[in-house]
Amino acid sequence: MYNEWSLDILYKGLDDKKYKDDFDKLVRLIDELNSFSAGLADGEDEENFLIQAIDYMEEFKFLSDSLRNYLTLRESVNTTDNEIVNEINKLDKHLSGVSKPFSAINKWIAGIGNIGKYMEKHPKLKAYSFFINNIKRDAKHLLSDDVEDVISKLNLSAGRAWCNMQNYLTSILEVEYRGKIITLPEVRNLAYSEDPTVRKDAYYAELKAYEKIKDAISYSLNNVKSQVNTICELRGYDSPLDQALEFSHMKRETLDAMLEAMVEYLPVFHRYLKHKAKLLGHKNGLPWYDLFAPIGESSTKFTVEEAKDYLIKHFRGFSDDMADMIKQAFEEEWIDFFPRKGKVGGAFCSNLPFVKQSRILTNFSGNLNDVLTLAHELGHAYHGMHIQDHLPLNVEYGMPVAETASTFNEALIMEAIIKEASGVEKMALIESQLQDITQIMCDIYSRFLFESEVFDRSRKGFLFADELGEIMLNAQKTAYGDGLDHEVLHPYMWVVKPHYYSEELSFYNFPYAFGGLFARGLYEKYKNEGNDFLPKYKALLNATTVSTVEECAKEADINLEDPEFWRTSLKSYEKLVDEFIKLS
């Protein structure tokens, strides 16, 4: 078993003949797309042109995804690789050339009044009904072909460039900790240390390190958000949030129902935080550096091999196809495990449906949280497994459902672990789960408040680093309430979280809350229905790329616009808080 992933299934290197051939094919295809789109206005054979347009889109999807995934995955484990960075820039310049033809093609498709008769006639077009209907919906937000082309090209030196700068600066940031120089992921991992002095020193070392890059990254955030605001206005969206909801295939009523239930239950999580503070000897709420302090005697450490066996054992009881996929992921080099200089922090899973695999990045240090992170990311891979047989243009799911399978995995693995435990170990495991749930509830809510405020205020002027810190602190005070010590919060969370810096995906925060609460509700149904639930769950995952989130939920008989569903999930979490307080 290897500690680093292999990307050979995509390409064996930049000098691989397959890579060069695919790159050349993509360049030629972009030229063909421009010629094809220019002739649409004169086309008399509407039916044939529609089939050709879909074929072109499929080929572009395959080539661009293959090339871009390969390059970005390589960059994520070595952001200092100049050759890869240059190759990404080269690819992006070519990809910017498709905005104009795709804009023309999408407008043309949207203008076909009798498209339904073609979809009924051709099974392939019928399978793309959700995709085509979204094109028709989104067409009202498209600008002129020339303007779309300019936006795409300028984005390379605007939003995309600012995003890359945040990614680069945080990945190479050196942190001085106790006389040594370590990476940002390493110092952040110390938040889980059993030693209170380590946690505290690491927290202050982390904050001090951000002082070196906060001003530069404030320019990244301001310019990304300013660009999003401007383009949303040009496209006719009421706000970036409305754009995010539309991209997510999610109703505002669903978001409002979820937030209503979350705000109702925030005091439950404040009660947990205050109790944890008391256990650790704090009087004014929990200081930020002790958010992830372990409580109890669960100090189990895992090697990579032990983590693999542990996960396979516990998921085998749920579904054989899940356990088999986990085995494959560990043994066939899907996972890059350990932190190193130049590697990005955190964890992610990149689905590669065109090769029926995924790739997972973690910064593994061997604690229980790392095993849960692996379970979470392997949930994304399991989700990918259930959409990989869709047609090429039907493999993209919206942000909210993106976190469903991953968080379901966390719920399942923690339930199994807790059942096996007793006494102080059980208390420690429940507390570990409450840490994660509190992140979904309080931290994600604070990020939602922060991003909303930044979007609003950036319309009126530039937000300097200190102002951004103030907005961040106010959001944390609202979300965490009196559960945290307001004198020891984290004013630089906006610096380190990459989700704020995407010019394409705004508000990548509420989907985590959605995923956590939706998955918990699904897990409660699984406990009630047993094996009868599994076909519904697989059907739900399969539907995520070809349905709205509300339609997906109906596969499991759930109404997302009813706050009561969300309360059901939160009530199960409240029981965990009560049990933790009782045990401790």
- CB-count exposure of residue 143 (10 Å: 0-12, 13-18, 19+): middle
C-alpha separations of 443 from 32, 161, 215, 440 in Å: 47, 27, 23, 6
Tokens of 130: 């959700």
Q: Are residues 127 and 246 in the same domain?
A: no
The model's confidence at residue 560, banded by pLDDT at 50, 70 and 90, is: very high
- Per the prediction, the chain carries an average pLDDT of 93
Of 128, 157, 186, the domain-final residue: 157
d(C-alpha 227, C-alpha 163), whole Å: 12
Regarding whether 174 and 150 lie in a shared domain, the answer is no
Convert the pLDDT of each residue in 433-479 to its tens digit.
899 899 989 999 999 999 999 999 999 999 999 999 999 999 999 99
Confirm whether 86 is domain-assigned.
yes
Q: Answer yes or no: do 152 and 198 share one domain.
A: no
Q: Is 256 helix (H, G, I), strand (E, B) or coil?
A: helix
In a domain, 389, yes or no: no
71: domain CATH number is 1.20.140.70
Answer yes or no: is 549 within a domain.
Answer: no
- Same domain? For 29 and 149 the reply is yes
Q: Residue 388: is its pLDDT beyond 60?
A: yes
How far is residue 236's CA from residue 238's CA, in Å, rounded to a whole number?
A: 6
Question: What is the mean predicted confidence (pLDDT) over 559-570?
Answer: 95
On whether both 59 and 85 belong to a single domain, the answer is yes
In sequence order, what are the residues at sequence separation of 6 or more whose Cβ sits closer than 8 angstroms to the Cβ of residue 111? Answer: 139
pLDDT tens-place string over residues 175-193? 999 999 999 989 999 999 9
Task: For residue 313, tell me if it sits in a domain.
Answer: no
Amino acid, single-letter form, for residue 238: D
84 — pLDDT class (breaks 50, 70, 90): very high
Phi, psi at 177, each rounded to 5°: -130, 115
Residue type at 532 in one-letter notation: D
Residue 260: its pLDDT value, please? 97
Q: How many domains, in total, are found in the chain?
A: 2
Distance CA 354, CA 419 (A): 39
- pLDDT digit string, tens, across residues 28-70: 999 999 999 988 866 568 899 999 999 999 999 999 999 999 9
Long-range contacts of the stretch 456-465 (C-beta < 8 A, 24+)? 458/222, 458/225, 458/226, 458/229, 459/229, 462/222, 463/218, 463/221, 463/222, 464/215, 464/218, 465/214, 465/215, 465/217, 465/218
**Are residues 170 and 138 both part of a single domain?**
no
pTM exceeds 0.85, yes or no: no
Task: Decide if pLDDT at 425 tops 90.
Answer: no
HSE of 446 in the Cβ direction (CA atoms, 13 Å)? 26
* Residue 30 lies inside a defined structural domain of this protein: yes
Q: For residue 59, tell me if it sits in a domain.
A: yes
Task: Dump the DSSP string for 5-47.
Answer: ---TTT-S-TT-HHHHHHHHHHHHHHHHHHHHHHTGGG---HH
Average of per-residue pLDDT across 360-383: 92
Percentage of the chain exceeding pLDDT 70: 99
* Residue that wins the pLDDT comparison between 19 and 153: 19
Residue 60 structure tokens: 């572009």
Q: Which amino acid is at 268?
A: V
Cα separation, 488 vs 269, in Å, equals 18
Query: What does each C-alpha distance from 555 to 393, 548, 550, 582 come to in angstroms?
Result: 22, 11, 9, 37
Residue found by looking up tokens 């009904």 in the block: 129
Same domain, residue pair 27 and 151: yes
Say if residues 400 and 510 touch (Cβ distance below 8 Å).
yes
Reported as a single tens digit per residue, the pLDDT across 320-348 is 999 999 999 999 999 999 999 899 888 99
- Say what the pLDDT of residue 113 is: 83
Q: 124, 157, 190 — which closes off a domain?
A: 157
| Same domain for 90 and 208 | no
User: Which tens digits make up the pLDDT trace of 483-509?
Assistant: 999 999 999 999 999 999 999 889 999
Residue 269, domain extent: 163-295+432-501
Q: Are 130 and 203 contained in the same domain?
A: no
Residues 124 and 176 in one domain: no
Please report the pLDDT score of residue 517 as a whole number: 94
Give me the phi and psi of 4, to 5 degrees please. -125, 150
Q: Region 401-416: what's the mean pLDDT?
A: 88
Q: Residue 453, SS3?
A: helix
The domain boundary, picked from 157, 191, 226, lies at 157
φ and ψ at residue 547, rounded to 5 degrees: -150, 165
The 3-class secondary structure across 298-339, one letter per residue, is CCCCCCHHHHHHHHHHHHHCCCHHHHHHHHHHHHCCCEECCC
176-184: Cβ within 8 A, 24+ apart: 176/205, 176/208, 176/209, 177/201, 177/202, 177/205, 178/205, 183/339, 183/340, 183/341, 183/343, 183/345, 184/209, 184/345, 184/496
- pLDDT score, position 299: 64
The total of other beta-carbon atoms located within 10 Å of residue 388's CB is 16
> Dmax of the chain from CA atoms?
78
CB 217 within 8 A of CB 166: yes
- Helices (H) then strands (E): counts for the chain: 27, 5
With beta carbons less than 8 A apart as the criterion, state whether 284 and 276 touch.
no
Report DSSP letters for 110-136, one per residue. Answer: HT-TTHHHHHHH-HHHHHTHHHHHHHH
Tokens of 362: 């973690």
Q: What is the pLDDT of residues 89-135, one digit of tens each?
A: 999 999 989 988 998 999 999 989 889 999 999 999 999 999 999 99
Token digits of residue 234: 């040009």
DSSP annotation of 442 reads I
Residue 472 in domain = yes
What H or E segment, with its residue span, contains residue 70? Answer: helix 46-77
CA 182 – CA 34 distance, rounded (Å): 49
Say whether both 220 and 137 belong to one domain.
no
Shared-domain flag, residues 22 and 149: yes
Run of H or E including 174: strand 174-177
Asked whether residue 534 is domain-assigned, the answer is no
Task: Give the CATH number for residue 167.
Answer: 1.10.1370.20
